[in-house]
Amino acid sequence: MVISLRPRVSEAVAHFWRTRLEQGAAQGGASGQKDYGSRSEVTGGAQMDGFVNLVAEIVAEAGISDASIHRDQSLELPGFFRPSKEWDLLVVVGDQLLACCEFKSQVGSFGNNFNNRTEEAIGTAQDLWTAYREGAFQTSARPWLGWLMLLEQAEKSMRPIAVREPHFPVFSEFRDASYAKRYELLGLKLMRERLYDSTCVLLSPRDLGTNGEYSEPNVELGFERFAASLSGHAAGLARMRG
Domain range summary for the chain, segments of one domain joined by +: 50-240
Instruction: Please state, rounded to an integer, the average pLDDT across all residues of the chain.
Output: 89
Q: Which residues of 176-191 are buried (b: 16+ CB within 10 A; e: fewer)?
A: ebbbbbbbbbbbbebb
By CB neighbour count within 10 A (0-12 exposed, 13-18 middle, 19+ buried), where does 201 fall? buried
What digits encode the pLDDT tens for the residues 100-148? Answer: 999 999 998 888 789 999 999 999 999 999 999 999 999 889 999 999 9
Confidence of residue 44 (pLDDT cuts 50, 70, 90): very low
- Give the pTM: 0.89
What digits encode the pLDDT tens for the residues 186-196? Answer: 999 999 999 99
Answer whether residue 221 shows pLDDT above 90: yes
CB atoms within 10 A of CB 232: 11
CA dist 91 and 59 (Å) reads: 8
Q: Note the pLDDT of residue 112.
A: 77
39, 215 contact by CB (below 8 A): no
Q: Note the pLDDT of residue 121.
A: 97
CA dist 122 and 130 (Å) reads: 12
Answer whether residue 30 shows pLDDT above 70: no
Confidence of residue 225 (pLDDT cuts 50, 70, 90): very high
Closest residue by Cα to residue 140 from 78, 87, 52, 86:
78
Q: Note the pLDDT of residue 40.
A: 36
What digits encode the pLDDT tens for the residues 85-101? Answer: 999 999 999 888 999 99
Q: Note the pLDDT of residue 27.
A: 65
Q: Note the pLDDT of residue 241.
A: 65
Average pLDDT over residues 49-74: 92
Answer whether residue 43 shows pLDDT above 60: no
166, 179 contact by CB (below 8 A): no
Closest residue by Cα to residue 105 from 160, 48, 183, 165:
48
Average pLDDT over residues 65-82: 92
